Structure 1
Amino acid sequence: MDPLFGGDSSNVRHGSFSNPTGPPPPYESVITDSASHSIMQAAPEHQAAAPGSGMQAGAAAANGSSSAGGGPAYSSDFEIVVADPVKQGEGVSAYVSYKVRTTTRLPQYNRPSCEVIRRFRDFVHLEGQLAEKHKGVILPPLPEKNAVQKFQMSQEFIEDRRRALQVFLNRVAAHPVLAKSASLQLFLEATEDTWAVEMARGQAAAAGAAAGGGPKKRLEDAVGWIKGLGAAATNIVGSSSRATDTAEDPEYIKVRDYLVALESHLSEAHRQAARLTAKEVELGEATLEFGQALERLGRLEEGNVSEAFSQMSSRSAELVAARRKGCEALAARFEAPLKEAVRSVRAVTAVCTDRALALATHMAAKHEVDAKKVRWAKLRGTPGSPQDKLTEAEREVSEAEERLRSSKIAYEELVATMTEELNRWQKERAADMAALLRDFALAQASMASEGVRAWSGLLAELQAVQGAAPAVAAAPATAT
């Protein structure tokens, strides 16, 4: 039985996601209320986000966001800050190192606070370790690799990445499973020398896998084996999305389509958010240039007129400074979280891919058992079949059945984990979106308030200047 949907897993096949044709379906439309199997059932109490604390507030403040209003979840057991980015080297070999400062209450850590130096590839290694050891878990997303930006090493790029890495670590530390991971503990507290040994060990394992051994090679062999099983296996790996969707559970298809539509529309929202931020920056620069033009114009005037232009130029400069801060807040608390939301959806679809591969492996194992049983039956039904061949065929059937049992257990465990993870992820995403909209409204209100304050102050000053202007003498009467 499929633990996620209550159906026979051998009858479920996965196809590719369909393209969205309209707005994403309502959140409620992907919630199933089945009493036995629900994709989005209420989360267990132990998975709820820990309440805020001083440590939690500290991490949130360092990240430029607040968990109190439903923003990114932070653990009450951790405070993790990624700080002090330093560029190392030049050219294509250049990289940025970061100080990772951790304070924790967890007893398994060797000390309550520590500071280590890590670079981006170390974060990537941690993500890989977590993905390998926790199948079915939706990992918090890392920022994307960007070769062009990495080569340029702009301050904006470095700061954006620093902030994203800090969010990544705090989300991992807030996860009910990942927070207890030995991989996370090693990353947070291992000295640079110890961590270098860990990285070397990982690189050696990857090299061994590429040379023909290890899990990667076994996975490649399994995929090649599946592809050679004929028409049945071809359907398993999803050569026709329409055929696989008709065999898939309808509730799972809803979730898949929801995720695809969600990623598409979140990507568009992020694109428009970046465009909005750029327009705000452009408006600020135009205001600055306007103020500079007024200042130059005022130099040609005298008295109250010159003073009026000077006051207007000064207020324009103040407004530009306030707008720059507002644009920084808009980028950090609206544009960047939207980008992270897109990466988060992709992390969920990666788990869906793992589930599809696990199911394909299980169904291929089932096909193998059937084939081995047919061969064994033919040998038994053939007079004079050698006993050694009969024994070998029976052994092959037994081994294939064991692989079938193992693949079924692995698949069911992954799906059970995935069910809880989808539920946790949806709750976290809903809180993030609420905080996102709140922060956007606050940023816009702040910029508007600064504008009103600046121009209102200017109006009062201009009125004072006008009131102090000397009266214009009346023209003498002309005799008629």
Structure 2
Amino acid sequence: MADSSIEERSVIGKTDEAAADVENNTTNTMVEEGMRLLNKMEISVAEAEKRMGKNTVSMAEAHTVYLIETRPVEVAAECQNTPPDSLWRRYSEFELLRNYLLVTYPFVVVPPLPEKRAEFMWHKLSSDNMDPEFVERRRVGLENFLLRVASHPVLSNDKILYSFLKQENGWKEMVLETGFQAKIDSKLKTLNATFRVKNPDKRFSDLKHYSDDLQSVTSRLLQVRARVADRLYGVYKVHGNYGRVFSEWSAIEKEMGDGLQSAGHHMDAYASSIDDILEEEEHYADQLKEYMFYAEALRAVCTKHELLQYELETAAQDLASKKQQREELATGTVRTFSFKGMTTKLFGLETAEQREAKLKVLEEQITEGEELVKEKTTECNEFVKNAWEDIEHFREQKDRDLKEALISYAVMQISACRKAIQVWSNAKECFNKM
């Protein structure tokens, strides 16, 4: 991340939500101010289940649902046998929740969902989104998403999130009634702002470039890991071939038979361990994928700032134009070429009454324009303050998580290499005893 840019920001304490969302977020508060939901409630996605349902054309369609269980922290701490509250959710409902959070809290780097279909897989592993192993990995990813959101200082206080966890029926209607879909900025509008903003904030520009680099680097790393996993799988299967050959060889040898048989057992045990190793590798790969998907959330924050900045610049430009028109009317001079100026020269000056009426209209428009510029300035400044506070929160989380994941991955690889050395050391001892 552009750390140098982040360090330039002033130290910010706990802030309120963006001005446009204050009313909504006030009514949405479900826990004490400053208290995160995860501190009051245990949350887990306990299991996944395959079901058959009807699609939009009334045809049978298989889908997966996930069981969300919640329990108050006080109950869990007292070790009571009270069963947790539970409900089932589809992946599409998780998507709806995240889309709502993205629109409602545009200054937040909203945690990503796990992939809907497998990417960067080594070819021996199924990429079918109904495959039990993939479904299990996605279950873990969905639980991680809920824990991320429930521990976030802003998102965890949202009423819709609370309803998602506790209210099985009517939740979709509740989230749609918020009208968040009408607030989604069109792609054309955001693209226009990206290319036409004149004074972009360098910090957000650097962050946008960083998010692109983060996605590119993690994507390449995952591709390399998939290729290495293929080769590693091949190496372990070669050891399986060694084990088979030694076992067959031992059957025709009398004096060397026991040693060859023992060496074959070591090779077989080593070869069979590859599945557990690659399953553990997939866990670390999923952690990297999460931050590859986080790049999109970072860009969403940058894009929203560009749109706010563009709206501010447009309002300021309109205000300056109105003030210039007022000055031209008051002095009777036209500084810039315009169709209006040409008509004045052709048909004569306007009467005093006409100029007075136009000046009055312009004064009203200028007053409205000044209020709009003030409002947009406040909105933009509030967004920047809240966004950079959340980006700092994300940066600390990213550094901590990736450091832990990469160290664990390195430790796992070292352990696998030591195991390989031990296998051949054991085989050497078997050969020495022959």
Q: Flag whether TM exceeds 0.5 (same fold).
A: yes
Q: How does 1:114-153 map to 2 (within 5 A)?
A: 114-146=85-117, 153=130
AA of the residue aligned to 1:94: A
> 1:329 aligned to 276, 280, 284, which one?
280
Q: Any residues of structure 2 matched to 1:43-442 within 5 Å, and which?
A: 75-89=38-52, 93-105=61-73, 113-146=84-117, 153-191=130-168, 193-198=169-174, 201=177, 205=179, 214-216=182-184, 219-220=185-186, 223=189, 237-238=194-195, 247-248=199-200, 250-299=202-251, 301-333=252-284, 335-375=285-325, 382=350, 383-385=352-354, 392-442=361-411
1:336-368 Cα shifts (integer Å, max 9, x gaps): 211112112221121111111111111112222
Question: 8 Å contact 1:277–1:331 — kept in the other structure?
Answer: no
Q: 1:222 to 1:260 in 2, by over 3 A?
A: closer
User: Cα gap change, 1:290/1:215 in structure 2, threshold over 3 Å: closer, same or farther?
Assistant: same
Q: Deviations over 1:117-136 (max 9, x none)?
A: 11111111111121222121
Is contact 1:326-1:446 (8 Å) kept?
A: no
CA-to-partner distance for each residue in 1:31-59, whole Å, 9 max, x for gaps? 53x5xx34xx5x8699xxxxxxxxxxxxx
Q: How many residue pairs get matched?
A: 377
What displacement does 1:329 show?
Answer: 1.1
Q: How many Å separate the matches in 2 of 1:222 and 1:165?
A: 31
AA of the residue aligned to 1:82? V
Distance change in 2, residues 1:221/1:292 (3 Å): closer
Matches within 5 A, 1:2-21: none
Tell me how large the CA RMSD over aligned residues is: 3.7
Report if aligned partners of 2:305, 2:380 keep a CA contact under 8 Å in 1: yes
Structure 1 stretches of 4+ with a deviation exceeding 6 A read: 147-151
Alpha-carbon distance between aligned partners in 1 of 2:379 and 2:83, rounded to the nearest angstrom: 36
Q: For each residue in 1:84-115, what CA deviation from the matched residue of structure 2 results, as whole angstroms up to 9, or x when unmatched? A: 222223899432111122234499xxx99422
State the TM-score, normalizing by the size of structure 2.
0.74
The amino acid that maps onto 1:95 is H
**TM-score after normalising by structure 1:** 0.68
Q: Give the corresponding residue for 2:122.
A: none
Preserved contact between residue 68 and residue 88 of structure 2 (Cα < 8 Å): yes
Higher alpha-carbon deviation: 254-263 or 173-182 = 254-263
For the residues of structure 2 that align with 1:449 and 1:221, how far apart are their CA atoms?
Answer: 52
Checking the alignment, whether the CA contact within 8 Å between 1:126 and 1:184 is kept in structure 2 is yes
Counterpart CA distance in 2 for 1:114 and 1:272 is 42
Compute the displacement of 1:415 (Å): 0.5
What secondary structure, in the 3-state scheme, does the structure 2 residue paired with 1:94 have?
strand
Contact 2:48 2:135 (8 Å CA) reproduced = yes
**Long gaps (5+) in structure 2:** 16-36, 54-58, 76-81, 120-125, 333-349
Going from structure 1 to structure 2, the CA distance change for 1:322 and 1:150 (only over 3 Å counts) comes to closer
Q: Contact 2:117–2:127 at 8 Å: present in 1 too?
A: yes
**What is the CA-CA distance between 1:442 and the residue it aligns to?**
1.9
Runs of 5+ consecutive residues of structure 1 not aligned to the other structure: 1-24, 47-73, 228-235, 467-480
Return the alpha-carbon distance in structure 1 between the equivalents of residues 283 and 137 of structure 2. 8
Instruction: Deviation per CA, 1:417-474: give whole Å up to 9, x if none.
Output: 111112111111111121022111221122223334444444444444x2xxxxxxxx
Q: Per chain length, whose mean CA-contact separation is higher, i.e. which structure has more relative contact order (CA < 8 Å, sep 6+)? A: 1
